[in-house]
Chains A and B, each alone.
Chain A
Amino acid sequence: MSSEQSLIPDAGVVDRSVPALQLTNIRKQFGGVVAIERFDLDVQAGEIVALVGDNGAGKSTLVKMVSGVYQPTEGEIRLQGRPASFRDASDARRQGVEVVYQDLALVDSQPVYMNMFLGRELTKGPLRLLDRRRMARETQELVDRLDVRIPSAKATIRELSGGQRQAVAICRATHWASSLVLMDEPTAALGVAETAKVEELIMRLRERGAGVLVVSHNLDQVFRIADRVAVLRRGRQVGVRSIAATNRNEVVSMITGLS
């Protein structure tokens, strides 16, 4: 990682005219088990799309294909209009896809700023020593700009609440994502007040230009934060609705298959 790269992202760089993510004819089989039969979806830049479905419907499998953990058996993934294939998760990350995991991928004993730069630490000088001051400063600026309330960029993750930790994970993902942020149940482990804070943060990502695909079990949440909702039932895509043009009952019956 070059140490010249700045932490503060420039939302203007994102090309909003092509979809951040396009999934076409995606199919995934594990041996004989068909996890995803067929799935198509576009996520626009600056758009939040929720992915819902019952347990075992295939939501996590889908997220893992887009984040490089699994490779699709068939179908095409395009990022910002260009075909993409990922060897592994860090390959996907290099291509601008960031993931917020449910089980917080943070290093507890390290400060917030080291987590923000985990795996891409900034260095200085010919000995390439860590530039802790600059990482702390840039992290503080980002956290302030996104209005995340943590004691300091130098606070150790262990000192933070669950909501603050998830906020740090989301900040990190947003900062590094050049095209897409994936979230698999980002608030599943949080209380009511903390969930509200994290939702606020997710909604603020819209302005930053990345597409957001968020898996959620919570329909109230989906209706609060998403622009569109895609429904999976037993590996099949049953429909995509604009939040403004649907309601809870319709989405519930799409999920369950009962009318």
Chain B
Amino acid sequence: MSEAGTAAPAISRPRWRAIDWREYVVYIGFVLVFLFFAVFLGETFLNPTNLSNIVIQTAPITVMAVGLVFVLSTGEIDLSIGSVVAVSALTGAVALRETDSALVGVLAGLAVGAVVGLVNGVFVTLVRLPSFLVTLATMGAVAGVAREISNLQSVPVDNETFLGLFGSGELFGVPGLIIWSVLAIAVGYVLLNKTRYGAHVLAIGDNIGAARVSGIKTARVKIMVLMGSAMCASLAGLLYAGRLHGARYTLGEADLMTVIAAVIVGGTSLFGGKGTVVGALMGSLLMGMLNNGLILAHLSVSQQMIARGLIILVAVSLSLREKRS
């Protein structure tokens, strides 16, 4: 795999050192968890409908994970994505209710993400606050806005075009949600690995001083990754609204941890300079599979939370022990 940050083969090293198994944690984990559920749950887990459901239900997580790969690659973090999911879904749903135009609904939802991302970016780059604090604050504020505009009520969506695009629609027999995932992964992969923008994102996360003296507009790139991440969260919100035929302030509220775990387990560094979009896809599928398997295993909701937390802890510690150079 020629992912950024690991692109060059280790020429002068012996083979056994060149293979860093930590890069494959997500693949090993994926296979192990799959086998585990296959053996213990059998047909309930393995039937094609269930397997494709996993991919479909994971779509919003996958889309958000792509956005977060870029943020982490610059060495920043975005904690506001979970709240942006809800507020975008609600804004989209309200816009659909008022105008009955799918286009207006989509644009309204995405615009909310763009604004939140811009605010995050400006505070991180111009006011120079840590992204951890900025996005923690906007996470809270945006969650409040979602409650405020919805009055804690859900807003139904019945626009056929919108539901077709983001919910139950299909293209050549492929569910729309899977197409959205594939699109997000493809665009993210090309941007990160094949464009100057991606090269600058990785350079900033690795050595921001070097990036700056090389003429890279570091503030602009950071604002762009934060806007990208928030807009991915908006898209995830629209996907939820499409699938559930409505929006509610609770949407996405548990997604932040899942997305961060997916991205880290996938092999993206928490400290910048190294990011992998394909890894993030594998990470989010792994998370989706866990979710699905734990439900099928008839664990109670609280037991699921405990199990998921512990599994994430193990997986993240395996992949996060950074290479000593």
Question: Hey, which bits of chain A sit against chain B, CB under 8 A?
Answer: 89-90, 93-94, 99, 101, 103-111, 114, 118-121, 123, 127-130, 151-152, 154-156, 158-159
Contacts and interface: CB of A to CB of B under 8 A. Distances in A.
A114 B199 contact: yes
Contact of A108 (B7, B12, B215, B273): B273
Given A90-B214, A105-B209, A119-B214, A151 B203 contact: no
A154 B2 CA distance: 13
Interface in B210-245: 210-216
Given A107-B273, A109-B202, A110-B202, A154 B8 contact: yes
Interface stretch (B42-50, B113-121, B128-136, B189-197): B189-197
Contacts of A114: 199, 203
Contact of B273 (A109, A127, A159): A109
4 smallest beta-carbon distances between A and B, as pairs = A119-B214, A90-B215, A105-B210, A119-B215
B194 A130 contact: yes
B13 A121 contact: no
B11 A155 contact: yes
A107 B202 contact: yes
A204 B258 CA distance: 55
A130 B13 contact: no
Interface size class of B (residues with CB under 8 A): 20 to 34
A107 B207 contact: yes
Given A110-B203, A155-B11, A156-B8, A89 B213 contact: yes
B11 A109 contact: no
Contacts of A99: 213
Contacts of A156: 7-8, 10
A206 B199 CA distance: 32
Nearest to B10: A159
Interface string B1-37: 0000101111111000000000000000000000000
A106 B210 contact: yes
B207 A108 contact: yes
A111 B8 contact: yes
B274 interface: yes
Which of B10, B196, B216 gathers the greatest number of chain A CB atoms within 10 Å? B196
Nearest to A117: B199
Contacts of A105: 207, 209-210, 213-214
Contacts, number: 94
A154 to B, nearest CB: 5
B211 A107 contact: yes
A159 B325 CA distance: 9
A94 B215 contact: yes
A156 B8 CA distance: 6
24 contacts: A89-B215, A90-B213, A93-B215, A105-B209, A107-B202, A108-B325, A109-B5, A109-B206, A109-B274, A110-B203, A114-B199, A114-B203, A118-B211, A118-B214, A119-B200, A119-B215, A129-B194, A130-B195, A151-B11, A151-B12, A154-B7, A155-B8, A156-B7, A156-B8
Given A106-B207, A118-B216, A130-B195, 20 more contacts: A90-B213, A93-B214, A93-B215, A105-B209, A105-B210, A105-B213, A105-B214, A107-B202, A107-B273, A108-B273, A119-B200, A119-B215, A120-B214, A120-B215, A121-B196, A121-B199, A130-B196, A151-B11, A154-B7, A159-B8
A159 B11 contact: yes
Nearest to B194: A129
Contacts of A94: 215
A131 to B, nearest CB: 10
Given A90-B213, A120-B215, A128 B8 contact: no
A128 B195 contact: yes
A185 to B, nearest CB: 16
A22 B220 CA distance: 34
Contact of A111 (B7, B190, B195, B211): B7
Contacts of A120: 214-215
A119 B202 contact: no
A252 B212 CA distance: 37
B9 A107 contact: no
Contacts of A103: 209
Contact of B13 (A90, A101, A108, A159): A159
A127 B12 CA distance: 34
Interface in B261-289: 273-274
A202 B12 CA distance: 26
Contacts of A89: 212-213, 215
